A = this chain, B = another copy of it.
Amino acid sequence: MKNTLLLILVLLSLNVCSQDFISSKVSFKDTILDENRKSPFDYVDPFIGTGGDGHTYPGAVIPFGMVQLSPDTDMKSYHESYNWCAGYQYGDSSIIGFSHTHFSGTGHSDLGDILIMPTAGKLRTKSGTKNNPDLGYRSRFSHKNETASPGYYSVKLDDYNIQAELTATNRVGFHKYTFPKTDSAHIILDLLHSIYNYDGKVIWSSIRVENDTLVTGYRQTRGWARNRSVYFAIVFSKAFDSYGFDKDDESMYGYRKTDNYIYEKPEVNGKKLIAFFNFKTKEEEIIEVKVGISAVSAEGALNNLKTEIPTWNFNKVKLVAENQWQKELSKIIIEGTDRDKAIFYTSVYHTMLAPVNYMDVDGKYRGLDQNIHTANDFTNYTIYSLWDTYRATHPLFTIIQPEKVSDMVKSMLAHYDQSVHHILPVWSFHNNETWCMIGYHAVPVIADAYLKGIRNYDVEKAYEAMISSATYENYDGLDYYMELGFVPIDKENEGASKTLEYAYDDFTIYKVAKEMGKDDDFKKFENRARNYKNIFDKETNFMRAKKIDGSWNEPFDPLYSKYGGDYTEGNAWQYTWYVPQDVQGLINLMGGREKFVEKLDSLFIVEAHDEKYHEVEDISGLIGQYAHGNEPSQHIAYLYNYAAMPWKTQQRIHQIMNNLFDDTPYGICGNEDCGQMSAWYIFSSMGFYPVCPGSNEYVIGSPCIEKATINLDNGNKFEMTADRLSEKNIYIQSVKLNGKNYDKSYITHDDIINGGKLIFRMGRKPNKKWGIKNADLPYSMTKAGAQ
């Protein structure tokens, strides 16, 4: 779908009924198409990030959709599956099938629910191996026969000469398979298939063949999520001639068995259910399959299916999906090179693949307490990769998705209500808390929204939930933290990182408490926000893990990292900078700006010693010790601003942009992480970044695109222009905001939301005088100049 004009014409001729579609405010022709007559949509390449450590998937999905229908190329065991977190790796040459749920960009995984695969010829009910696809039903494919665009994916399955096309609505995956002429066409339904697979992951599953076009059931897994069920309803466009099951099923009761299969058994329960449905097809005969999913019940899944896709019109569903993307992708329009646009718009695309809708069309959803709840006044969202996304993804949403921000807060408050711990989500998805990563970073997400004036939820309850999360003694050493002011490493692993991140989270409570007039709390949390100081070692000039007796953890090697060590997916070099709330305080600890900058320079230079953290897969995208591929580093390049040397930030930003992003499948240097890496790119390419959510500031870096226009929901526009930007003109010479010279090295949220024009004048040499006065530096708890 590369020709948008054609798309529009087709759309107009189809009388598509979706309200989303009809009510679209964007006039494609006038607003979206660029000089190449291409829209943002046309530049999105879902393959970006599908190679290497990006962990994105190329499949079909709508913005924030419950269904992520995508090909899986491998199903690795628990300990080997890092590379296949999204089910797909660009380097693979065979496809197992198409499953309906995926994480975008994560470094831990699960999902891959309800895999469907069309085959022809000899029936195979095991998936086979990458080395020998012929052992199973998987098929070879090549990228030349594979296309992907927002809401659509297509591939030719070479082993079977079947063309597979996918599209989706919110809760329904739509498969279109074009078969060759054959007496033995099959559609496989594999409920054993799973991302992050291991023996025993499927707790139980059930298939009911309701009639010769409708199949329902569920599967329940104990993966990363320990208590997760996906119910499904599958409708075929053509009645199957016969059906059966792989005999390895632990079945409920025995029917007559023939050869290796069990036939015509309309209800099976087991842990290894793999079903097949047989057809005869004519040359180029199309069989379509709609798969509704639900966390509530099979009834809910069928209701979702019938409501969202009542008819058989693949193209119409695809066009509705594409239009939803057009609308979302038009929220920021940029000018720049084709490469810029590909990376930028794909980044925007990637920020809208999580959180995802998690409720049925009737508003019912399964809560963290496993009970069925109804979301009466909000859209319930799930997949909160908060350790990643509180940094830039959620702040981006405050700009381009303000309505969804309130719903996300409401979803997190529902989680809080349903939590037996009475705390906000940590890393949650599909009504499960995984307890993955550290911190209580739902707190800065809510605080950031609140402080920016997004308050369409129960603010008192939100406040209560933040306090409750920050004071839950049983959580990850919080009891010690509250008593001692740091998390002692001999009592709780990763104590150094936890201390730093708690202190930042506490800062955001301090800001909210102050705003809300909670006098007692704000002082308490203001103090807690300075707890980072308790683990700064003046001798080594690093943040370090401290023991309960106050001594440092030994031996100490600032390069060393391991899971469960002193730091979280990082080392002392990377974590020492984690004081976004008080960079000036850190500068002071380090002995002033000069020493701070010297050390910061070193970060980008100290040689990487891969063997020092070879176990920590997440540390990637290295420049010296700076690891752009993982979150703890992602704010660091902006810290020069605080030391009044913004030109060094400008230089580093361009270095990162040029070296660690490209528009190929391998173009994301580390886990995309549910939009965080992309949000970093979106902000940074526009020239500013939310170093410290909760401060309402965006620290100015250096723009990497010529122009960006943010079309705000309130009708305002915020335009960024980078005059004279070129490969060499990477340094800010001067800035104008709304026509006036602007010397601060940050802008505020209001500056954006109120609309306006931000003009950077770029040049080849640094302007070392811009943005360096104390009054012009970004926010720190400690005032610049003070000790």
Contact = CB atoms under 8 A, between A and B. Distances in A.
5 contacts: A206-B370, A216-B369, A252-B435, A267-B420, A298-B370
Contact of A420 (B209, B222, B370, B421): B209
Given A203-B204, A204-B204, A264-B474, A299 B227 contact: no
A216 B210 CA distance: 34
A253 B216 CA distance: 32
A227 B273 CA distance: 14
A210 B420 contact: yes
A204 B227 CA distance: 8
A471 to B, nearest CB: 15
Contacts of A208: 369, 420
A381 to B, nearest CB: 22
Contacts of A227: 204, 206, 252, 269
Contacts of A684: none
B474 A420 contact: no
A423 to B, nearest CB: 11
A14 interface: no
A297 interface: yes
Contacts of A253: 435
B371 A255 contact: no
A372 interface: yes
A399 B24 CA distance: 67
A168 to B, nearest CB: 24
A298 B204 contact: no
Interface string A363-377: 000000111100000
A297 B371 contact: yes
A255 B371 CA distance: 25
A218 interface: yes
B255 A474 contact: yes
Closest 3 CB pairs of A and B: A299-B371, A226-B269, A208-B420
A267 B218 CA distance: 24
A210 B420 CA distance: 6
Interface in A245-275: 252-253, 255, 264-267, 269
B435 A371 contact: no
Contacts of A255: 474
A216 B371 CA distance: 11
A220 interface: yes
Interface in A200-227: 203-204, 206, 208-210, 216, 218, 220, 222, 226-227
Nearest to A418: B208
A198 to B, nearest CB: 13
Given A266-B421, A299-B369, 7 more contacts: A203-B203, A204-B220, A204-B222, A206-B370, A210-B420, A266-B474, A267-B420
Interface string A48-74: 000000000000000000000000000
A370 B226 contact: no
Nearest to A422: B266
Interface in A510-551: none
A205 to B, nearest CB: 10
Interface string A394-430: 0000000000000000000000000011000000000
A227 B371 CA distance: 18
B206 A372 contact: no
B266 A420 contact: yes
B269 A369 contact: no
A255 B220 CA distance: 25
Contacts of A435: 252-253
Interface of A: 203-204, 206, 208-210, 216, 218, 220, 222, 226-227, 252-253, 255, 264-267, 269, 297-299, 369-372, 420-421, 435, 474
Given A420-B208, A474-B255, A269 B222 contact: yes
A208 B226 CA distance: 14
B210 A298 contact: no
B222 A267 contact: no
A420 B204 CA distance: 19
A299 B204 CA distance: 22
Contact of A297 (B206, B210, B370): B370
A218 B204 CA distance: 15
Contacts of A371: 297-299
Nearest to A209: B420
Contacts of A210: 420
Contacts of A269: 222, 226-227
A227 B203 CA distance: 11
Contacts of A297: 370-372
Contacts of A267: 420-421
A227 B298 CA distance: 14
A218 B226 CA distance: 14
Contacts of A299: 369, 371-372
Contacts of A226: 252, 269
Contacts of A298: 369-371
A206 B370 CA distance: 10
Contacts of A420: 208-210, 266-267
A420 B243 CA distance: 15
A594 B369 CA distance: 70
A142 B187 CA distance: 62
Nearest to A491: B256
A264 B252 CA distance: 38
A218 B299 CA distance: 21
A218 B370 contact: yes
A82 to B, nearest CB: 20
A410 B253 CA distance: 26
A297 B227 CA distance: 14
A526 B216 CA distance: 38
A269 B224 CA distance: 12
Contacts of A252: 226-227, 435
Contacts of A474: 255, 264-266
A297 B298 CA distance: 16
A492 to B, nearest CB: 9
A210 B371 CA distance: 14
A208 B299 CA distance: 27
A325 to B, nearest CB: 34
A231 to B, nearest CB: 8
A435 B254 CA distance: 10
A369 B207 CA distance: 10
Nearest to A215: B420
Nearest to A492: B256
Query: Which of A265, A299, A370 has the most B CB atoms < 10 Å from its CB?
Result: A370
A127 to B, nearest CB: 24
Nearest to A371: B299
Contacts of A203: 203-204, 220
A339 to B, nearest CB: 43
A439 to B, nearest CB: 16
A277 to B, nearest CB: 15
A216 B264 CA distance: 39
Contacts of A206: 227, 370
Contacts of A204: 203-204, 220, 222, 227
